[in-house]
Structure 1
């Protein structure tokens, strides 16, 4: 079966098959997919029943399934949720913790969202198109899922920023971005310079602008064009992907509370570790993730994305250019009638002009991060290094500190967020009062981190 799948990808290359032949084969693939789906339905139904039993045993999982608000309030925090409508009509949910889900998945003493709320900040957790907390009208967005971080930077983040500033009356805010959140923010600031004046400080955790990939991920990159062609023609690209709450999604079989209850969550933690860096099987030797929270992570992780977003990332890797989406490099079944000339007025997608950015910057990165690796981060520094505030470039030397550790590591507050807080306070020039004294913070949170962080 595996060989057949690989053959499909090889056969679909333009050099080996005509378009009509490709469509005939893809129709066969579609029929096979439908048959397999029917056979799996009864198995999935039984899995869902068992899943309900497991989730009822963990109060955090049960509350999260009812919604982020139920979960946040269960820890005694105020919670508000509101919708933001972008200029092109997409509706996005924004979560406010008085004081996206990944930042609050750990309990208050470990979760960065809760930590910053404790320090006196109102924390807004935005969502972007493609994930489970976004929606649209099918009549106005027929091709809603044919979007990437380009649309998020063009429409989503600007709308969210404007909505928050309007609701609060402030003229500026802080942005703390992780992974794709940094991608979207850099793209927005580069392409919409007017938003630079609305950002007081941008903290980039594991910035993914020039992504580095391990050899294991590079294999996927090598077949991405053919893979997207298959997904387009069987309809997979027209739906949200990597949504662990959908029983017909591949990620559901890998990340759901039932699977993550096995072995006290060790299995799911191991899968997350391997996904972040296949070379580093660290779960037993370096248990940085809290395995007991694995079922909680699995409820909303992953929360969904689009095929086109992944294609766009691999385009950046292949071309080594942080540029807008290439509409001319698309498969035969791509339904959107767009070309680079139509959209951009030129034959190639324009690069994002990072020189347009004029926002104070703080950066955190680590040596073992597969996606924000040393080479890519070094290239980013050449572009935006002059924006980094004094002492604001952090290199985490701690062994096997991976991409998701910024969000979920049990020592993330000590290694990362105490330093984030320093720069927030310096930027705001706040008086001690409604923000707790830093000496008291260190007494509560600090561990010996001096050997693991370098100020470069």
Structure 2
């Protein structure tokens, strides 16, 4: 994890304790997503300069998530994980660590993309409410539940091969997700088009998955974005995402009947029940132009499955692609500053 304990300004809080925010990156990204733009365009700096204690999470398999007490990233066992483990272990550990270090009882959480998926699924398993009480407000940017209707790389390959196909680890790498160059080029022809600019952007797996370059980006920062992302994940995690595309809802990882029976006590993986989420306030920020947080999936799954009582805000933004929520120039006025005001008012007891 990384931490920004202080910003440019000195801000006094009534109880002498700073409000705490944990920011969690998306698929194939890492904590740097929150700081790669100029200070007034980067979520982490916006909150830090407003007096918040800012923590940046990194899940396993990313640039900053490759250390382990017993497993070696050079060996296959290290990479045997998907977002199931990120939700159950990584997210839980990060939240508990932040609260232990700050002495606070709860925190504000801002997740993007996969960072929303792991929070939704962790909350769905929180049967006793002990985890939800630690999350004061949850800001879900480009929220992910069902991915049945997504566009891009994950949808392309999920539908290109039959459900029985078992060659994913040959195509994408047996450990970390490193697709063969010919696979990337083959997919980019169908997904991104044939122009030179489109082809160049789609050489980066992240853009193949999340969508091509946006007109919201600071063009001078594109090389910086590409130098930081993709930041890594396991092939097993990518396979899990493709299983979700086929399934249409949010299942745990499908290991096959034999292992499923041993692991889950049934032939098929269980689903995460989003209707069971309670005990925290959720702010949804999404857009019709998002490849991965598809608006149809948001309408047909998230807004139907989530209990209306937990949805504090439902914001449909114009002209945001999936990556604009962390890199777009409109993110500060349309996402970060409204979220900051909500958190500040909440912390001061004004809401």
SS, match of residue 204 in structure 1:
strand
Bigger mean CA deviation after superposition, 380-389 or 214-223: 214-223
Match of 2:324 in 1: 405
Match of 1:14 in 2: none
Residue 304 of structure 1: which of 225, 228, 232 is its match? Answer: 232
Higher helix fraction: Structure 1 or Structure 2? 1
Match of 2:14 in 1: none
Compared with structure 1, are the counterparts of its residues 422 and 201 closer, same or farther at alpha carbon in structure 2 (3 Å cutoff)? same
- Is there any run of 5+ residues in structure 2 with no aligned partner, and where? 10-23, 26-30, 185-195
| 1:419 and 2:338 correspond | yes
Compared with structure 1, are the counterparts of its residues 228 and 102 closer, same or farther at alpha carbon in structure 2 (3 Å cutoff)? farther
Match of 1:223 in 2: 160
**Which whole-Å deviations, capped at 9, do the CAs of 1:377-420 have from their partners, x for residues lacking one?**
11101111414455x11001x23x20000111112101111111
Q: Distance in 1 between matches of 2:85 and 2:203?
A: 33
8 Å contact kept, 2:216–2:329: yes
Cα distance, 1:162 vs. partner?
Answer: 0.7
8 Å contact kept, 2:106–2:133: yes
Compared with structure 1, are the counterparts of its residues 216 and 303 closer, same or farther at alpha carbon in structure 2 (3 Å cutoff)? closer
Cα distance, 1:197 vs. partner?
Answer: 1.2
The structure that has the greater radius of gyration is 1
8 Å contact kept, 1:268–1:294: no
8 Å contact kept, 1:242–1:249: no
Residue 366 of structure 1: which of 276, 287, 310 is its match? Answer: 287
Q: Distance in 1 between matches of 2:156 and 2:90?
A: 31
> Residues 318-357 of structure 1: matches in 2 within 5 Å?
318-328=246-256, 339-357=259-277
| 1:169 and 2:169 correspond | no
SS, match of residue 267 in structure 2:
coil
Compared with structure 1, are the counterparts of its residues 249 and 387 closer, same or farther at alpha carbon in structure 2 (3 Å cutoff)? farther
SS, match of residue 268 in structure 2:
coil
Q: Distance in 2 between matches of 1:230 and 1:341?
A: 22
8 Å contact kept, 1:177–1:205: yes
> Residues 40-439 of structure 1: matches in 2 within 5 Å?
100-134=31-65, 135-136=67-68, 137-138=70-71, 143-193=77-127, 194-211=130-147, 212-214=149-151, 217-223=154-160, 229-232=166-169, 236-238=173-175, 240-241=176-177, 268=201, 276-277=210-211, 287-328=215-256, 339-358=259-278, 359-378=280-299, 379-390=301-312, 392-396=313-317, 398-399=318-319, 401-429=320-348
Cα distance, 1:328 vs. partner?
Answer: 0.6
Q: Distance in 1 between matches of 2:88 and 2:161?
A: 25
SS, match of residue 41 in structure 2:
coil
TM-score, normalized by length of structure 2? 0.77
Match of 1:31 in 2: none
8 Å contact kept, 1:109–1:115: yes
Compared with structure 1, are the counterparts of its residues 220 and 355 closer, same or farther at alpha carbon in structure 2 (3 Å cutoff)? same
8 Å contact kept, 2:113–2:142: yes
Q: Distance in 1 between matches of 2:230 and 2:302?
A: 27
Compared with structure 1, are the counterparts of its residues 232 and 250 closer, same or farther at alpha carbon in structure 2 (3 Å cutoff)? closer
SS, match of residue 200 in structure 1:
strand
Q: Distance in 2 between matches of 1:159 and 1:147?
A: 16
The one of the two structures with greater contact order (alpha-carbon pairs below 8 A, sep at least 6) is 2
8 Å contact kept, 2:277–2:307: no
Compared with structure 1, are the counterparts of its residues 129 and 228 closer, same or farther at alpha carbon in structure 2 (3 Å cutoff)? farther
